[in-house]
Structure 1
Amino acid sequence: MHIIPILLTTFFLFSVPAHAQLKNENLLVAMPDGYVVGFQDKNAKQQMTEMVPRGQSVKDWTDMVTVQIFFNMTNVTPEAYKQRLEKLWTENCKGAESSPIGQGNERGYPVIVWLQFCPLNKDTGKPEVTLLKAIAGKDSFYVVQKAFRFQPDKPQVEQWSRYLRSVSVCDSRVPDRACPQTGK
C-alpha cells in the first residue's frame, strides 16, 4: 500500500507533489494495492473519494473503499455519527445489524470503528457488509469505510481491519500529532 495524504486544501486526492509538506490537519489514508479512484467530488461541505479494485467501477463493484471528509463538522462525535448510520441502515434494510469493533482515542482524536451488515440490500439484491472508522478531528470529521457486496471471510475482515487501523489524522500545528515528512 502507498500512503496518500488527503489534504483539506487540495481538490485532487492524489496530486500532492512529493516535496510538499503537510500543513494543518490531514487525513492519512492508503490507496489499497490494485485499487483505482472511481469517483471523487469536493464541495464547500465535504470531499468524497471512492476507490474500487481495477476492473470494477463505482456503478458495478463487489468491494469499495470510501473516504469522506466533512469540513468544519466539529460538533459531532464518532458515537453520534455511528448511531445515525445505524438508524439509516435499520430503516433501509430489513435485518440490519451493527457490531462495535473499537472505540477510544488515537493521537488525541476520538475514534470509533464498527461493522454494519445488511443481509439483503433492496437496491442490489445482495448482502452488504461495511467496516467503518470515524475520526473527530479539530478542523473536520473523517470517515473511511470498506464495503463488500458479499459476506467476507475472516481473513478479509482481518486484512481490512488492519487497513482501517493504519488510517489516522495528523496536524502540523500540534507537536504530538505532527504529520510525517513527505519529501525534501
Structure 2
Amino acid sequence: MNKTGIVLALSACVSFAHAADAGKTIEQYRQQGSSVKSIAPIFSQLLVVPFPSGFKTAFENTQGPRYIREAVPEKENVDEWTQMITVTGFKDLALNPKVTPQSFAVNMAAGFQRACPTSFSGQEIGIGKISERDAFVLVASCGTSPATAGKTSEAAVIAVIKGSSDYYTIQWAERGAVSATPLAIDVGKWTEKFKQLNPIKLCPIVAGEAAPYPSCVN
C-alpha cells in the first residue's frame, strides 16, 4: 500500500472552495450537501468508499499481502465499539482461479459460524457487480459474540469484490443485545446499511499521481 494512507475527499473538491470556506470542517461540508469519501491506494488499485457521518479511522495497517482499515464512531475505539466499518485488501488473490467473490464471502461467514456455532445466522444478499467488478454480498451474525466474551451479539454486512489483481472487502458491523439463539436477519435493514457504503469505486493507480487522486475522484 502507498504509505500516504487514506485520504478523505469531498465530492465538491475543497481545492475549488472559496478562501472563506477554508476553515470549514468535514461535517460542515456534509451539511451543505457534499459527500465525503475515503480514497486509499491498496496494492494495485485505488479504492473509494463513502465515509458515513460520525465515524473516524481508528486503525490502519499493511502487513505483507494484507491490508486493513477500521473506522468506529467518534467516541469509541477498536476494542470497545457499537459499530465498525472495516476495509481489507488481499494482494494478488484475484489471480487465483479457485477463489471467487462468493467462495471468499462464504468462507468469511464460516468464520462467524465457527466462533458461535449455536447462535450463528447468515443470509446471502446477492451476487453481481460493484464498480464493474465481480462481487458478492451477505450478512453474517453471532447471537453471542466471543469477541466481547458473550456480552453482546455481533452482525455484519460483508461485500467482497474481485479487483484486477487483488481482493477487497467492505464490512459494516454492529454489536447489540446478546442472544443465545440465532439472530433474525433483517435483509431490508442491512441492504440499507450497505447502500450507505455506495457508490464503491475501484480505479487504476496512475503513475506519479498524488492525493487526492483526481483521475479517480473526477
Report TM bin, short chain.
0.7 to 0.9
1:73 paired to 2:93: yes
1:100 equivalent to 2:100? Answer no
* Count of residues in correspondence between the two structures: 165
Please, what TM-score do these two structures have when normalized by structure 2?
Answer: 0.67
CA distance in 2, matches of 1:165, 1:82: 18
SS at match of 1:181: helix
Give unmatched runs, 5+ long, in structure 1. 10-23, 174-178
1:84 paired with 2:107, answer yes
Indicate which of 162, 165, 172 corresponds to 2:195: 162
Q: Aligned partner of 2:201: which letter?
A: S
User: Is 1:34 aligned to residue 63 of structure 2?
Assistant: no
Distance across 1 between alignment mates of 2:168 and 2:70 = 14
Correspondence 1:48 to 2:74: no
Q: Distance in 2 between matches of 1:65 and 1:106?
A: 18
CA–CA separation in structure 1 for the residues paired with 2:140 and 2:47 = 23
Q: Do the aligned partners of 1:111 and 1:135 also contact (CA within 8 Å) in 2?
A: yes
1:60 pairs with one of 45, 60, 80: 80
Distance (Å, rounded) in 1 between the aligned partners of 2:186 and 2:138: 16
1:159 Cα deviation from its structure 2 partner: 3.9
Q: 1:56 to 1:83 in 2, by over 3 A?
A: same
2:190 aligned counterpart, secondary structure: helix
Compute the RMSD of aligned alpha carbons: 2.6
Relative to structure 1, the CA distance from residue 182 to residue 82 in structure 2 (aligned partners, 3 Å threshold; closer, same or farther) is closer
Q: Flag structure 2 segments of 5+ consecutive residues without an equivalent.
A: 1-34, 178-184, 207-212
Answer 1 or 2: higher relative contact order, Cα 8 Å, separation at least 6.
1
CA distance in 2, matches of 1:154, 1:183: 31
CA shift digits 1:82-126 (9 cap, x unpaired): 121122211111221110112112343110111111111133121
Mark the structure with the bigger radius of gyration.
Answer: 2
- Report if the CA contact (8 A) 1:133-1:164 is conserved: no
Aligned partners of 1:117, 1:87: CA distance in 2, in Å? 10
Q: What's the CA shift for 1:154?
A: 7.9
Q: How does 1:77-156 map to 2 (within 5 A)?
A: 77-93=100-116, 94-124=118-148, 125-150=151-176
Runs of 4 or more above 2 Å deviation: 105-108, 151-159, 170-173, 179-184
CA gap 1:30/1:183 in 2 versus in 1, 3 angstroms: closer
Normalising by structure 1, what TM-score?
0.78
Identity of aligned residues (%): 22
Check 1:164–1:102 CA distance in 2 against 1; reply closer, same or farther (3 A cut).
Answer: farther
Q: Secondary structure of the residue that 1:117 maps to in structure 2?
A: strand
Task: Give the structure 2 partner of residue 181 of structure 1.
Answer: 215
Cα-to-partner distance string for 1:123-144 (whole Å, 9 max, x where unaligned): 3121111011100111210000
- Give 1:183 deviation, angstroms: 7.3
- 1:63 and 1:140 map into 2 onto residues whose CA distance is 26
